[in-house]
Amino acid sequence: MKQRKWFRERLASGQTIFSAGAYDALSAKLIEAAGFDALLTTGFGISASHLGQPDVELYTMTENLNVVRHIANAVDIPVVADCDTGYGNAINVMRTVREFEQAGVSAIILEDQVVPKRCPAIANRVEVIPRAEAVAKIKAAVEARRDPDLVIIARTDADSEEESIARAQAYIEAGADMIQPISKTFKDAAGLRRMKAAVSKPLSLQVLGWLEKDLSADDLREISGMSTFPLVPLMTVALALQQNLAALAAAKHAGNLPLPLMDHKKFADVLGFARITELQHRLLPEAPDFLKSAAE
């Protein structure tokens, strides 16, 4: 699969992959159109957009998988799947890896929290499973993948730098290709540099909290193999909807909304109406030209 091969080769080259968080196929297409190298399917965003619920692993593996499959089918850039805790023990992880690999992702993220997980961006405290159990889950993921180009990213939510580094080293020894620390554990760039030096593997950074404020693009290139802005798309849409819908509900008129709307033709271009019209003309020559008129 060309996306997987590109993703792994880009990591091996030492160049940083920049990505943003997708929560559905439309957000994925917009991330691709914006020019990002890759995208991350954010569990936070999928839970919010599909369930209207917080990120506490309320959705099932198959519910997440269905969203990820649609996203992978909608774009040509590599897709990194947030697979939470793997949805169970090491045996469950093996099925999770195989299902997401078949869905077309280039990388998966597995974290070492207890089940059900808690989002560290919101929760005051999270709990991690014993190190040996977490190592076994990474070993199971490595054993389960069929394509050696599939990148396995081991995330640690340990609450101290020392334990995070110790776990990261153990996960690398178990076969993980990248390590993802959480921003709450590390207080500055120096700590992240110590983590990078200790594991000798690329770091996957979710650019949240102090990382958004304190790290420049050059800092991210120096420290990380992949830097992701996981919540900017979701929070952008949430605020825009909140503001425009409040104005629309109050005025009952769309003529003076606080934020502009995308032009219908531009939106049709994002969705690929032109491609569908071309296929219709070529494969359904006798069919009405309804798609063309709808896109115009």
pLDDT single digits (tens) 65-97: 999 999 999 999 999 999 999 999 999 999 999
pLDDT in tens, 187-212: 899 999 999 999 989 999 999 999 99
What are the φ and ψ backbone dihedral angles of 178, each rounded to 5 degrees? -145, 160
Nearest to 121 by CA among 255, 203, 228, 222: 228
Tell whether the model's pLDDT for residue 278 goes beyond 50.
yes
Q: What are phi and psi of 19, to 5 degrees?
A: -140, 170
- The whole model's pTM is what? 0.92
Q: What are the φ and ψ backbone dihedral angles of 67, each rounded to 5 degrees?
A: -65, -45
Distance CA 171, CA 178 (A): 9
Give the full edge-to-edge strand order of the sheet including 151-156.
Answer: 178-181, 151-156, 107-111, 79-82, 38-41, 17-22, 226-229, 204-206
pLDDT classification of 275: cutoffs 50, 70, 90: confident
116 prior amide bond cis, ω within 30: yes
Sign of CA dihedral 187, 53, 116, 84: negative
Q: What is the mean pLDDT of residues 163-169?
A: 97
- Say if residues 37 and 228 touch (Cβ distance below 8 Å): no
- Answer yes or no: 83 catalytic: no
pLDDT one-digit tens code per residue, 251-262:
999 999 999 999
What pLDDT is recorded for position 171?
98
Instruction: Give me the mean pLDDT over the 155-175 stretch.
Output: 96
14-52 tens-digit pLDDT? 999 999 999 999 999 999 999 999 999 999 999 999 999
The C-alpha atoms of residue 280 and residue 189 are separated, in whole angstroms, by 53
- Read off the amino acid at residue 282: R
| Residue-wise pLDDT tens digits, 225-260 | 999 999 999 999 999 999 999 999 999 999 999 999
Residue 290: pLDDT above 70? Answer: no
Predicted confidence at residue 279, as pLDDT, reads 87
pLDDT greater than 60 at residue 295: no
Residue 287 is predicted with a pLDDT of 65
Fold type of domain 2-230: TIM Barrel (3.20.20)
**Residue 253 CA: distances (Å) to CA of 153, 239, 247, 248:** 48, 19, 8, 6
Amino acid identity for residue 237 in this structure: V
**Least confident range of 226-235, 259-268, 278-287:** 278-287
> How far separated are the first and last CA of the chain, in Å rounded?
35
| HSE of 44, CA atoms in CB hemisphere, 13 A | 18
Q: How far apart are CA 151 and CA 113, in angstroms?
A: 20
Please identify which of the residues 26, 56, 114, 119 carries the catalytic annotation: 119
pLDDT value of residue 273: 87
Mean pLDDT rounded to a whole number for the chain: 93
Where, residue-wise, is CATH 3.20.20.60 in the chain? 2-230
Question: With 80 as the cut, is the pLDDT of residue 291 above it?
Answer: no
pLDDT of 249:
97
